[in-house]
Structure 1
Amino acid sequence: MLPRERQLPSAPQGNADALRWLRLGGAFLLLLPLTACEHIELLNPKGDIAAQEKTLILVALGLMLLVVIPVMVLTVVFAWRYRASNTKATYAPTWAHSTSIEVVIWTIPCLIVTTLAVMIWETTHTLDPYKPLITKNQPVRVEVVALNWKWLFIYPDYGIASVNHLAIPVDTPIEFKLTAESMMNSFFIPQLGSQIYAMAGMRTQLHLIANEPGTYEGLSSAFSGPGFSDMHFDVAATNAEDFAGWIAKVKDSPLKLDAATYQTLEQPSIKNPVTVYAGVEPALFDTIVNRFMSGRMSEMAFATSDVCTAQTLPPIAWNKN
C-alpha cells in the first residue's frame, strides 16, 4: 500500500494578512522621505527661473497623472468586477468594440498632448538660457570654466576669480559665459535652475537670478571622470553690501591668476579647497575658449595660401613625345 502524500501545513490567514500589511507599510516608509520637498532642491526654488521650472514640472506631471491614475484605478476595478467568482458581471466573450470608449481613450490623451505642446512651446522661449533677465539692477558677469575636477569663476568686471566658490548678489541678474578646459561638463545650480553644458572650444551662455539670500549647492550633472563625485561648489547669495565686501576681501588676496598659475590650476585634481585670486590675466576666458582654434586657423590659412598659389601657377606644358 502506497503511503499517502503529506500536505504541508499552511500559514494561518491572520499571519499572511499581517505580513502583507507589514510589507505595504515598509514600502510606504521608504517612499515617505520623497514627499518632503525641503530635501529635494529642485522643488525648493530660490530664484525666479527655478520657480518657473518647478511650475512647469508640476503642471506637466499633473497632466500626465490625469491618464496614469485613472488607468491604475480602472485596472483594479476591472480585475475585481470581472473576477471569475462574480456571477453578476456581464459575460461578453465576443465583445470587440465600443465607440464611446474609443472616443474617451483617444480624446483625453490628445487634449493633454496639445496642452503640453503649447505650454512647452511658450516656456521654451520664456526660459531660454540665452535670454537676458530684465530687472532694475545691473547684471553681474561671471565667466565659468569647467576644469578637471573643479570650477573656476572669473569676474571680468572686478578683475578677480575664485575656485569652487560662486558669490552673487540677490535680486541681480547673473550673466554666465561658460566653457570647459577639456571634457564636457554640465553646470547646474538646482535651486536657481537651468542646467547647461560647458564644452571645450565653445562658449555657452546662461542667465540666472537668486531672489533669497542663502548658500546653495552647485554641481556638475554630467559624468566627467574619476573626480566627478567631488566636483561641487558653493553658491553664496548675499545682499549688495555683503557682495561688495566679499569683492574687497578677494582683492586683498596675494594670489594672481596669470598664465603660469592657470597652467598649474588646469591640471586634474580632486577636492580642491576654495581659492580666490586678486588679479586675473586679461582676456583669460577668451584665451581658454580659443586655445584649440589657433592650430586650426593656421591650417586653414596654409590651405588657403596653397589654393591661391595653385591658381596663379602657369599651366603645365606636356611633352607629347
Structure 2
Amino acid sequence: MPGLVRSFVGKWMVAASVPFLLVGCGEMGLLDPKGPVAEGERAMFFNAVVIMAAIIVPIIVLTLYFAWRYSAKAPRGRYTPEWSYSGRLELLVWSIPALVIIFLGGIAWIGSHELDPSRPLRSNVRAIPVQVISLDWKWLFIYPEQGVASVNHLVIPAGTPVAFRITSATVMNSLIVPRLGSQMYAMAGMDGKLNLQADEPGRYRGLSAHYSGEGFSQMMFYADAVSPAQFAAWAARTRAAGPMLDAPTYLRMIKQQSTSRAYTFRAVAPGLYDAALRQSGVKASERSSGGREDTE
C-alpha cells in the first residue's frame, strides 16, 4: 500500500510540473505567449481549467472522504438500505455538470469568434501583408509591399499586425508559431487567412504541425520580431542583393527537396502568389479527379 501511495503522488507531481516545463521551454513555451492571439488562447485554457476544476476537485475530495467514512473496517455512516431517491440530490448531481458544460460552451463560443484566425486584429497600426507558400519541405514567405521574399525565415515588425495569406504548392501542411498564436492549414488551391502579432521583439520558432512526408521533421523556421526601423533596414538590405524570385526559379523550388537553409530574394515577380495559388488548385483538382498531373 505505501508503494501504491508513492506511485500515485509521483504521478501527480509529474502532471503538476508539466505547465511549468512548458513555460520554461524557451522557444516552444506554449504558456508564455508573446502576442494578443496567444494571450487570448492562454486565457481560454486557464478559464477552462478553473471551470473543470470546480467539479473535478470536489469529486476527488468526496471520493476520498466517502472511502474513509464508509469503509468496511471502521464504518462511521448510518446504514439505510431502504433509501432510494432524493430530489435535491438528483438536482445537485445534474445541475453542476450542466453548468460546467454551459460555461465551457460559452468560453468556446466567445473564443472561436474573438480569436478567429481570419479576423483582423484590433490595432492602431496598419497590418502588413505576408504571403506564405508551403513547399517540400520548406516555407516561402513573400512580402508584396516590400517586394522581397525569404525562405525558412520570417521577419516581422514588433507591435504590428501581420495578415498572412497561406497556401501550399504540394501536400497539406500547417503553419504555426506557438508563442504568437493560432495555426492555419496550408492546402493546395486554398487561400487561408491568419492574423498574428508579436507584442515585443524576439526570436520565436515556427514549424509545420501536420505530417507531410520525410522532410517534415526539419520543416521549421525562425520568426524574428524586430523594431519597425530594423524591419525597414532588413527589407532594404534584402532588396540590395540576392537572386530574383520569378516563375522559373519558383518552379525549380517546387521540384527541389527538403532544405533547412534560410535565404532571401531581392525581388519577386508580380502576382506570383496568386499564380501559385491557381496552379496548385488546378493540380489538386486533377489529383482528386484522377487526371494526369502536369509536371511541366
**Structure-1-length-normalised TM-score:** 0.81
Q: Which residue is 2:63 aligned to?
A: 75
Separation in structure 2 between the aligned mates of residue 202 and residue 211 of structure 1, nearest angstrom: 29
Q: Is residue 2:24 matched to residue 1:38?
A: yes
Separation in structure 2 between the aligned mates of residue 23 and residue 121 of structure 1, nearest angstrom: 39
Q: Is residue 2:121 matched to residue 1:133?
A: yes
**Equivalent residue for 1:148, pick from 109, 116, 136:** 136
Give the 3 Å change call, closer, same or farther, for CA 121–29 of structure 1 in structure 2.
closer
Secondary structure of residue in 2 paired with 1:42? coil
Q: Which residue is 1:60 aligned to?
A: 48
Deviation at 1:92, TM superposition (A): 3.0
Give the 3 Å change call, closer, same or farther, for CA 26–120 of structure 1 in structure 2.
closer
Across the aligned residues of Structure 1 and Structure 2, the Cα RMSD in angstroms comes to: 2.3
Separation in structure 1 between the aligned mates of residue 267 and residue 279 of structure 2, nearest angstrom: 21
Q: Which residue is 2:224 aligned to?
A: 236
Separation in structure 2 between the aligned mates of residue 44 and residue 279 of structure 1, nearest angstrom: 36
Secondary structure of residue in 1 paired with 2:24? helix
* Contact 2:189/2:282 (8 A) holds in 1: no
Amino acid at match of 2:163: E
Q: Which residue is 1:204 aligned to?
A: 192
Separation in structure 2 between the aligned mates of residue 116 and residue 131 of structure 1, nearest angstrom: 22
Gaps of 5+ in 1: 1-15, 298-321
Secondary structure of residue in 2 paired with 1:75? helix
Alignment of 1:111-260 (within 5 A): 111-260=99-248
Q: Is residue 2:37 matched to residue 1:49?
A: yes
**Structure-2-length-normalised TM-score:** 0.88
Q: Is residue 2:84 matched to residue 1:96?
A: yes
Give the 3 Å change call, closer, same or farther, for CA 24–102 of structure 1 in structure 2.
closer
Q: Per-residue CA shift, 1:74-114, capped at 9, x if unaligned? A: 22222222111123322234433222221112111222222
Give the 3 Å change call, closer, same or farther, for CA 33–173 of structure 1 in structure 2.
same
Separation in structure 2 between the aligned mates of residue 56 and residue 204 of structure 1, nearest angstrom: 24
Q: Which residue is 1:300 aligned to?
A: none
Separation in structure 2 between the aligned mates of residue 125 and residue 205 of structure 1, nearest angstrom: 14
How many residues matched? 282
* Contact 2:131/2:144 (8 A) holds in 1: yes
* Greater radius of gyration (CA): 1
Give the 3 Å change call, closer, same or farther, for CA 253–206 of structure 1 in structure 2.
same
Deviation at 1:157, TM superposition (A): 0.7
Separation in structure 2 between the aligned mates of residue 44 and residue 295 of structure 1, nearest angstrom: 40
**Equivalent residue for 1:85, pick from 73, 95, 100:** 73
Q: Per-residue CA shift, 1:26-85, capped at 9, x if unaligned? A: 545644641312326221100111111110111012111212222222222222221111
Secondary structure of residue in 2 paired with 1:266? helix
The percentage of aligned residue pairs carrying the same residue is 38
